Structure 1
Amino acid sequence: MAGSSHGHTPAAWTGVTIAFIGFCVAGAFMVMAQPAGFWAGMAMVILGGVVGWVMSNMGLGMPKDAQAHRTAEQREPASVES
């Protein structure tokens, strides 16, 4: 994945960061036995996915032509030269 720039976009970073914070909030409130705080954290996890999707659709994600190029490279095996 390092060569494909997978996830190296503002949309990916923002969505994952929001979801991670929501996961931490949900975990903390679960330990404190506070169901309302847990569900608020879970809502943040879902919000992270929505924000990432919206940002990607706004053009801050991986360009569509880069996705098509990447999938074409995955289908064609690399030639081995001796």
Structure 2
Amino acid sequence: MAGHNHGHTPAAWTGVTIAFIGFCVAGAFTVLANPLGFWAGMVIVALGGVVGVAMRAAGLGMPKAQPHPRPRPEAQTQQ
């Protein structure tokens, strides 16, 4: 997939980085047995998704793919 530039955009990197920080916060507060901190981490995870979508809408994501024309089937040769 690296040849298709899959997810290598500022919107994707920013959204995933924010979500990763949220998972780290939630995990730390899970170990500390603090439900409020855990849910704060989950809010940060959701914020990462919102930021990623907003950045994509602002033009920092992958451009919409242009539909590829379908190849016409070759005429079958008669034997």
User: Would you call these one fold, judging by a TM-score over 0.5?
Assistant: yes
**Secondary structure, counterpart of 2:66 in structure 1:** helix
* Structure number having the greater helix percentage: 1
Q: Secondary structure at the match of 1:8?
A: coil
SS of alignment partner, residue 57 of structure 2: helix
TM-score for both structures, normalised by structure 1: 0.80
The percent of aligned pairs where both chains have the same amino acid is 73
Aligned residue number for residue 4 of structure 2? 4
Q: In the alignment, which residue of structure 2 is the partner of 1:37?
A: 37
Give the equivalent residue in structure 2 for 1:79.
Answer: none
State yes or no: 1:68 paired with 2:66: yes
Aligned-partner Cα distance in 1 for 2:66–2:8: 16
Deviation per residue, 1:17-69 (Å, 9 max, x gap): 000000000000000000000000000000000000000000000111xx236
| Partner Cα distance (1:30, 1:2) in 2 | 35
CA-based RMSD of the aligned residues comes to 1.8
Gaps of at least 5 residues in structure 2 are 72-79
Q: Does 1:49 align with 2:49?
A: yes
